[in-house]
Structure 1
Amino acid sequence: MKKSLFIITAIMCSLFCHAQESQFFEMRQYTVHEGKMQDLVDRFENHTLKLFEKHGIENVAYFLPLGDNPEYLTFILGYPDRAARDASWASFGSDPEWNQAREASEENGPLVAKVTQTFMNIDKELSPQGVLMLPESGKVFELRTYYMLPGKVENIHKRFRDHTRKLFENHGMTNIAYWYTDEKEGNQSRLVYLLAHDSEEAGKKSFSEFGKDPEWVKVRDDSEKDGKIVEKIESVYFKPLGFSPLK
């Protein structure tokens, strides 16, 4: 019993400590050429993940959108800071092993048609500790992005900090991580966060019930006495790939 407890504790500590080292995150979306998704997934599983680790890049999560024929792969990477990110990618890009793997995978044509990047800073006040640990596997994930009206970032932060996260949990949703996008000077950050649900249907049911919760309605109305906070919300449901650290 003591040995088993030690092993479980060691695994949890490893995940927790590793997760906490990263403060700066990058979400990348790779849109694939037709028929190339499996080739891309294979390249990540067989080569890219271990090469990222070799160059100091933390693999956080690898997702495909729900549906029969996903057109893009989304993944999240972690770094100590922006400078470390740039140094790691320069080192990775010039690695002969990576270039050999890339060229071999593209013998019959390129795999990736488009790359989209979002840089983000973890918000420790909103994010649960040990964000890589879930009570069980078999979840689906929902990535939500909030575009706030001008000057309303502090308002949304306060509402999530004091009310929203707890209400999510009351309705069966699991808070995974919260970030604010790292924007060029003069541009307002977006709030990006990740939830876990038992299924897409369960997630939509939870949000429906959350939206009708009298406590939430009061919180929302009180927080918007001086005007609306959120201009637009984007939501995407994902399933994790088998090799994703977060699953």
Structure 2
Amino acid sequence: MQAASPPYRCLLALALLTGALAPPPARAETETAGAATPIHQLRIYRVHAGNEGPFHDRFRDHALRIMARHRFDVVATWQAKSDAGTEFVYLLQWPDAAAMKSAWDAFMADPEWAAIKKETGARHGRFVDGIQDRTLQLTDYSPQRGLAD
């Protein structure tokens, strides 16, 4: 069996540090409250070599602010280094798949985001060499129903 890659070790460490592996509330409490089970989205960007600083500047100073305007719930962000280069990893929480799709559509169509991408791309070149995107659905036996409080 292969060892977990750096981003997954980061997620496990986060779960252990934040108490995400604590026992869930009683099933009856969760169902009675009528709380929908959130979904999570794991995004992993392979950052173009040499553009790590400008990438983080753009994400921190612009992307997060614009994402917040479109109701993105960014749970955490990480940087992972491997032989393949630098990866930027972040985890989002969504109420459901429809909210995720709607928010991403709005973000990608946002004129401010388009202008920032155009300007920073012209100045620095390519920021990302590849993106992995995974929608994570909690199992009914997950110890934690949601990560963002």
State how far apart, in whole Å, the 1-side matches of 2:145 and 2:64 are.
23
Amino acid at match of 2:126: K
Under a length normalisation based on structure 2, what TM-score does the superposition of the two structures give?
Answer: 0.71
Following superposition, the deviation at residue 213 of structure 1 comes to 0.4
State how far apart, in whole Å, the 2-side matches of 1:203 and 1:197 are.
6
Closer/same/farther in 2, CA of residues 163 and 191 from structure 1, 3 Å limit: same
* Match of residue 143 from structure 2: 243
Following superposition, the deviation at residue 138 of structure 1 comes to 2.2
* Match of residue 230 from structure 1: 128
* Match of residue 207 from structure 1: 104
Q: 1:178 aligns with which of 77, 82, 90?
A: 77
Runs of 4+ in 1 over 2 A off after TM superposition: 130-133, 244-247
SS at match of 1:190: strand
Q: Deviations over 1:97-138 (max 9, x none)?
A: xxxxxxxxxxxxxxxxx545122597xxxxxxx9779xx762
Closer/same/farther in 2, CA of residues 203 and 245 from structure 1, 3 Å limit: closer
Q: Extract unaligned runs of 5+ from structure 2.
A: 11-16, 21-34
Closer/same/farther in 2, CA of residues 178 and 239 from structure 1, 3 Å limit: same
* Match of residue 188 from structure 1: 85
State how far apart, in whole Å, the 2-side matches of 1:131 and 1:137 are.
21
Following superposition, the deviation at residue 164 of structure 1 comes to 0.5
Following superposition, the deviation at residue 246 of structure 1 comes to 4.3
State how far apart, in whole Å, the 1-side matches of 2:135 and 2:117 are.
24
Aligned CA-pair RMSD: 2.6
Amino acid at match of 2:143: F
Following superposition, the deviation at residue 190 of structure 1 comes to 0.4
Under a length normalisation based on structure 1, what TM-score does the superposition of the two structures give?
Answer: 0.44
Percent identity between matched residues is 22
Matched, 1:149 2:149: no
Following superposition, the deviation at residue 245 of structure 1 comes to 6.9
Following superposition, the deviation at residue 182 of structure 1 comes to 3.3
Matched, 1:216 2:116: no
Amino acid at match of 2:51: K
State how far apart, in whole Å, the 2-side matches of 1:137 and 1:167 are.
26
State how far apart, in whole Å, the 1-side matches of 2:82 and 2:119 are.
29
Residue 37 of structure 2 contacts residue 145 of structure 2 at CA under 8 Å; is this kept in 1? no
Amino acid at match of 1:142: Q
Which of the pair has more CA radius of gyration?
Answer: 1
Following superposition, the deviation at residue 240 of structure 1 comes to 2.3
Q: Deviations over 1:29-71 (max 9, x none)?
A: xxxxxxxxxxxxxxxxxxxxxxxxxxxxxxxxxxxxxxxxxxx
Within 5 A, what are the aligned runs for 1:97-176? 115=2, 117-120=4-7, 138-176=37-75
Instruction: Identify which of structures 1 and 2 has the higher relative contact order when contacts are C-alpha pairs closer than 8 Å and 6+ apart.
Output: 2
Q: Extract unaligned runs of 5+ from structure 1.
A: 1-113, 123-129
